[in-house]
Chains A and B, each alone.
Chain A
Amino acid sequence: EVQLVESGGGLVQPGRSLKLSCLASGFTFSNYGMNWIRQAPGKGLEWVASISSSSSYIYYADTVKGRFTISRDNAKNTLYLQMTSLRSEDTALYYCARHRLGWFAYWGQGTLVTVSS
Chain B
Amino acid sequence: DIQMTQSPASLSASLGETVTIECRASEDIYSNLAWYQQKPGNSPQLLIYDANSLADGVPSRFSGSGSGTQYSLKINSLQSEDVASYFCQQYNNYPPYTFGAGTKLELK
Q: Which residues of A contact B (CB under 8 A)?
A: 35, 44-47, 50, 59-62, 95, 101-110
Contacts and interface: CB of A to CB of B under 8 A. Distances in A.
A26 B85 CA distance: 27
Contacts of B94: 50, 59, 102
Binding site of B, secondary structure by majority: helix, strand, loop or mixed? loop
A47 B43 contact: no
Given A47-B96, A103-B89, A108 B43 contact: yes
Nearest to B85: A44
A44 B100 contact: yes
Interface of B: 32, 34, 36, 42-46, 49, 55, 87, 89, 91-92, 94-102
Given A102-B91, A103-B89, A104-B34, A44 B99 contact: yes
Contacts of A47: 95-99
